[in-house]
Amino acid sequence: MKRPVARPTPHPSGATPPPIPADLVPRHVAVIMDGNGRWAKERGLPRTKGHEAGEAALFDVVEGAIELGVKAVSAYAFSTENWSRSPDEVRFLMGFNRDVIRRRRDEMHALGVRVRWAGRAPRLWKSVVKELQVAEELTKDNDVCTLTMCVNYGGRAELADAARALARDVAAGRVNPDKVDEKVFARYLYVPDLADADLVWRTSGEQRLSNFMLWQAAYAEMVFTDILWPDVDRRALWRACEAYASRDRRYGGALPNQVGTGTGTGAPVTGEA
């Protein structure tokens, strides 16, 4: 028997998810949680206060994802580039990520959320790794939604690490190099069974990937919103998903009335390259 799971806490405003058809709801939303520092600066507060305020935003978004039917949320919590920040901020972020995972794991477990970790272990505090591993073990059988915490994560680092591991297996004779294709390579990513991102959503008005999920976002729709992350709640996620649902996703093809326009190759003139 599957254990019972809790329902998300209703939004204080009484807001409910928009009526997006189930087949137009993104399965996997990759979130770049941007704007914590600017939020704090606007209020004359230390940057760390912005990170603290962003915790509630993330978990309200997770509840909103469950309500809408999103099956996976990946959160860019600490990048491989974030080590270049001041030592004080880095120390804060290490401890903060550790404590957030510890604080929230039972809540996520109760909601049926599976918690995963994507990132590099070297250089990451051992206490952070431990809390991530405890959360992964506790929630491993949950299937309502998957929350992947991307801690000490970089898209290029993930690809380099995957290539290194694959090269070792090729050298050891475990993999035939002539059989290496995208499917084989994907088995070496940090979370191999994580679906490709359907939607990359970035807050704060910035419009770039910042080295996030370069492999998984190859055909993702991008939605950029001006709101700073600590001001986000599930309604902002829902608006991003509505924007996603309004897009035509062609994966390099074209709409039916755009095909066969005399290129001489049978290729469409328009559409994604």
Please state, in angstroms and rounded to a whole number, the distance separating the CA atoms of residues 66 and 111: 9
Closest by CA to 220, choosing from 235, 238, 193, 202, is 202
Which residue in 23, 36, 82, 99 is the catalytic one? 82
Please state, in angstroms and rounded to a whole number, the distance separating the CA atoms of residues 36 and 203: 10
Active site residue 82: yes
Exposed (0-12), middle (13-18) or buried (19+): which is 198, by Cβ within 10 Å?
buried
Active site residue 141: no
Which residue in 34, 60, 198, 233 is the catalytic one? 34
> Do residues 178 and 58 touch, judged by C-beta distance below 8 A?
no
φ, ψ at 115 (rounded to 5°): -100, 130
The helix (run of H) or strand (run of E) holding residue 158 is helix 155-171
Enzyme catalytic residues: 34, 82
